[in-house]
């Protein structure tokens, strides 16, 4: 090939690269082959970004020389910001700052609420600790929101989108947590409150004799009531439903006394009859499940007292959900001492759909009953599969207007408690409560995003033969593949060489 032709083709190639780079500055394309679509923006995120009418500045405080696993989080976050910027037509802008560069930048990051975390790094065969920053601050006018630590994976999009929504929303809809019947305060459900506060103003509300329930409340949440409801309160709840309102009810109709190990039914505080008028029945049966949590039992072993973990079917781990928006994306909800729910709508226009089921290896135990911790459970005990423990109802529940209800047969499954008794709740318990209230409140679109994550596929669920096949196959297959390619190339070269020797060019 002549020199001029080579130079011409080289310039053409360089020109093509320049044009491609210029186009890529305007377009952002990312192919997502993951099963859970963790790198694909949700519909909720797209809608929120397209509705922005002001500029949001994202200042990402990231340490520069991070370990590889954390460096990936930085790159993923940057890619996500590029996509947000493009999707919002430039209403999301960002910059990255390395707080470790100097003391002034580090103090500035800490003053804005970004605290460092200590991570181990290896330098010259020595393990050292590094003060790493992995947070961000969002600013829109005078309002700001902090993400103290960017979580890797699908949680990254949820953190960023909810922060954007929180500072961009002007008038938040209101949600009421009903009080006056022994219910815990909203602060007792702090994890649920944190999720709901992104889009709603949550406040306590007590029904009065002089006024109807305000219709500006999107949802009335009734959580774990213990005292009797006056009939006037039910009349006002029904009137609220007749205006198209939504009611979230988490209620336990069974009583558990662990000290005496006696399980019984609670006296009806009026809720059972109110639900029955709507075709919903909480049964006087405890759901037991072979897929369950464990309790710690102290046992005497010779001179020693040992703590032993025993599987306890009264603590079902519920992993079977319907495709309803309130339950979509959940993986595991824990509901100790939960009852089953049955339903038969009295109005054909009302649609009642199960949300959460027990497993195929589950059963029911009628109350009252004494708990036997040491009981040896058999397959015959789990003879009532797929018990329903939560339902969603939609339609003319009272009057002619379309209204919604979610009923969950456990009052405290998402309650943290108050004061010194407060404790962390399983995350999917919180997600179920938040999703249900979100759906009742006209579905803000964050339901799917909140539960978007990596699907759990534990290897413990396959037998040893398959597990070993996957384990050793991952090691041997690449080696065999490379050997096969090498042999193929060797044979191909040998055939070419033979042709050259015979003069077949």
Do 236 and 212 form a contact (C-beta atoms < 8 A)? yes
- Measured between alpha carbons, how far apart are the two ends of the chain, in Å? 21
- Whether 13 is covered by a domain: the verdict is no
What average pLDDT does the segment 201-217 reach?
94
CATH code of residue 355: 3.40.50
Q: Do 383 and 401 belong together in one domain?
A: yes
Distance of alpha carbon 419 from alpha carbon 123, whole angstroms: 45
pLDDT beyond 80 at 103: yes
Which pLDDT does position 452 carry in this prediction?
65
State pLDDT tens for residues 467-494: 788 878 888 888 999 999 999 988 888 8
Q: Do 451 and 470 belong together in one domain?
A: no
Looking at residue 361, the DSSP 8-state letter turns out to be S
What domain range is 71 assigned to?
Answer: 31-168
Nearest by Cα to 470 from 483, 482, 454, 457: 457
Which pLDDT does position 58 carry in this prediction?
95
Choose between 210 and 69: higher pLDDT.
210
What average pLDDT does the segment 279-304 reach?
86
Q: Do 422 and 337 belong together in one domain?
A: yes
- Whether 26 is covered by a domain: the verdict is no
pLDDT beyond 90 at 215: yes
- Whether 235 is covered by a domain: the verdict is yes
pLDDT beyond 60 at 455: no
Q: Can you state the angle between helices 43-50 and 155-168, rounded to 10 degrees?
A: 30
Chain-centroid distance, C-alpha 285: 29
| Total residues found in the chain within this entry | 505
Give the chain's mean pLDDT: 86
72-81, 86-95, 151-160: which has the minimum mean pLDDT? Answer: 151-160
pLDDT category at 309 given cuts 50, 70, 90 is confident
State pLDDT tens for residues 120-132: 777 666 777 778 8
Q: Do 452 and 477 belong together in one domain?
A: no
Look at residues 101, 133, 168 and tell me which one is the last residue of a structural domain.
Answer: 168
pLDDT beyond 60 at 298: yes
CATH code of residue 117: 3.40.30.10
pLDDT beyond 80 at 504: no
Do 311 and 291 form a contact (C-beta atoms < 8 A)? no
Q: Do 472 and 366 belong together in one domain?
A: no
Which pLDDT does position 60 carry in this prediction?
93
- Whether 1 is covered by a domain: the verdict is no
- In terms of DSSP bridges, do strands 134-140 and 369-370 run parallel, antiparallel, or are they unpaired? unpaired
Structural domain count, the chain? 3
Residue 447, judged by CB atoms within 10 A of its CB (0-12, 13-18, 19+), counts as: buried
Which pLDDT does position 302 carry in this prediction?
67
Q: Do 105 and 234 belong together in one domain?
A: no
Q: Do 183 and 117 belong together in one domain?
A: no
Q: What are phi and psi of 130, to 5 degrees?
A: -120, 135
Nearest by Cα to 148 from 140, 130, 157, 160: 160
Q: Do 129 and 247 belong together in one domain?
A: no
- Whether 185 is covered by a domain: the verdict is yes
Q: Do 185 and 263 belong together in one domain?
A: yes
Look at residues 140, 168, 196 and tell me which one is the last residue of a structural domain.
Answer: 168
Choose between 37 and 5: higher pLDDT.
5
pLDDT category at 439 given cuts 50, 70, 90 is very high
Look at residues 118, 138, 168 and tell me which one is the last residue of a structural domain.
Answer: 168
% residues pLDDT > 70 (the chain): 89
Q: Do 473 and 444 belong together in one domain?
A: no
Choose between 300 and 151: higher pLDDT.
151
pLDDT category at 461 given cuts 50, 70, 90 is low
Look at the block and give the residue holding tokens 């994306």: 329
What average pLDDT does the segment 444-451 reach?
68
Choose between 278 and 9: higher pLDDT.
278
Look at the block and give the residue holding tokens 């602060």: 187
Q: Do 100 and 202 belong together in one domain?
A: no
- Whether 223 is covered by a domain: the verdict is yes
pLDDT beyond 80 at 442: no
**pTM (2 d.p.):** 0.76
CA atoms within 13 A on the CB side of 282: 28
b/e map 222-234, b = 16+ CB within 10 Å: bbbbeeebeeebb
Look at the block and give the residue holding tokens 């079902």: 316
- In terms of DSSP bridges, do strands 143-147 and 134-140 run parallel, antiparallel, or are they unpaired? antiparallel
- Whether 213 is covered by a domain: the verdict is yes
Nearest by Cα to 177 from 169, 168, 185: 185
Which pLDDT does position 33 carry in this prediction?
60
pLDDT beyond 90 at 158: no
Which residues neighbour 121 within 8 Å (Cβ) at sequence distance 6 or greater?
65, 67, 127, 128, 129, 130
49-63, 69-83, 87-101, 195-209: which has the minimum mean pLDDT? Answer: 69-83
pLDDT category at 505 given cuts 50, 70, 90 is low
What average pLDDT does the segment 267-277 reach?
94
Radius of gyration of the chain (CA): 30
Q: Do 436 and 471 belong together in one domain?
A: no
- In terms of DSSP bridges, do strands 56-62 and 92-97 run parallel, antiparallel, or are they unpaired? parallel
Which residue pairs from 231-234 have beta carbons closer than 8 angstroms and sit at least 24 positions apart in sequence?
Answer: 231/270, 232/207, 233/180, 233/181, 233/207, 234/270, 234/274
* Structure tokens given for 493: 């070269």
126-140, 241-255, 423-437: which has the minimum mean pLDDT? Answer: 126-140
pLDDT category at 462 given cuts 50, 70, 90 is low
- In terms of DSSP bridges, do strands 280-289 and 362-366 run parallel, antiparallel, or are they unpaired? antiparallel
- Whether 17 is covered by a domain: the verdict is no
């Amino acid at each position: 090939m002549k020199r001029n032709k080579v130079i011409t083709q080289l310039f053409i190639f360089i020109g093509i690269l320049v044009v491609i780079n210029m186009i890529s500055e305007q377009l952002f394309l990312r192919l997502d082959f993951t099963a859970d679509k963790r790198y694909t923006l949700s519909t909720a995120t797209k809608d929120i970004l397209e509705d922005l009418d002001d500029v949001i500045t994202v200042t990402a405080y990231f340490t520069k020389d991070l370990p590889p696993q954390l460096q990936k989080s930085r790159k993923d976050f940057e890619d996500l910001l590029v996509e947000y910027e493009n999707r919002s037509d430039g209403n999301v802008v960002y910059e990255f700052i390395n707080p470790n560069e100097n003391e002034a930048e580090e103090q500035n990051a800490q003053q804005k609420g970004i605290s460092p975390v200590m991570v181990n790094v290896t330098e010259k065969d020595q393990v050292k600790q590094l003060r790493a920053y992995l947070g961000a601050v969002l600013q829109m006018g005078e309002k700001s929101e902090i993400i103290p630590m960017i979580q890797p994976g699908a949680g990254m999009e949820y953190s960023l989108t909810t922060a954007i929504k929180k500072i961009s929303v002007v008038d938040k809809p209101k949600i009421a947590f009903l009080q006056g019947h022994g219910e815990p305060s909203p602060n007792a459900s702090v994890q649920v409150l944190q999720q709901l506060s992104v889009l709603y103003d949550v406040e306590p509300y007590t029904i009065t004799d002089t006024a109807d329930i305000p219709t500006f409340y999107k949802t009335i949440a009734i959580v774990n009531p213990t005292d009797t409801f006056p009939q006037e309160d039910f009349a006002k709840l029904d009137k609220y439903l007749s205006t198209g309102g939504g009611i979230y009810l988490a209620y336990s109709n069974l009583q558990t006394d662990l000290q005496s190990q006696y399980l019984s039914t609670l006296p009806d505080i009026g809720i059972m009859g109110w639900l029955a008028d709507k075709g919903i029945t909480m049964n006087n049966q405890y759901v037991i499940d072979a897929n369950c949590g464990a309790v710690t039992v102290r046992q005497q072993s010779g001179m020693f007292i040992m703590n032993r973990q025993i599987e306890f079917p009264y603590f079902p781990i519920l992993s079977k959900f319907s495709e309803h928006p309130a339950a979509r994306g959940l993986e595991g909800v824990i509901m100790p001492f939960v009852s089953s729910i049955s339903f038969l709508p009295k109005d054909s226009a009302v649609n009642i759909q199960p949300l959460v089921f027990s497993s195929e290896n589950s059963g029911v135990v009628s109350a009252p009953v004494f708990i036997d911790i040491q009981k040896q459970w058999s397959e015959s005990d789990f003879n009532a599969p797929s018990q329903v423990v939560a339902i969603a109802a939609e339609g003319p529940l009272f009057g002619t207007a379309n209204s919604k209800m979610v009923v969950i047969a456990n009052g405290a499954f998402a309650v943290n408690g108050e004061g010194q008794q407060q404790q962390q709740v399983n995350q999917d318990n919180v997600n179920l409560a938040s999703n249900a209230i979100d759906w009742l409140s006209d579905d803000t679109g964050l339901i799917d995003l909140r539960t978007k994550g990596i699907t759990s596929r534990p290897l413990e669920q396959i037998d040893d033969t398959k597990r070993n096949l996957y384990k050793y196959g991952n090691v041997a297959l690449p080696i065999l593949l490379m050997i096969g390619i090498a042999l193929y190339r060797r044979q191909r070269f040998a055939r070419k060489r033979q042709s050259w020797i015979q003069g077949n060019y």
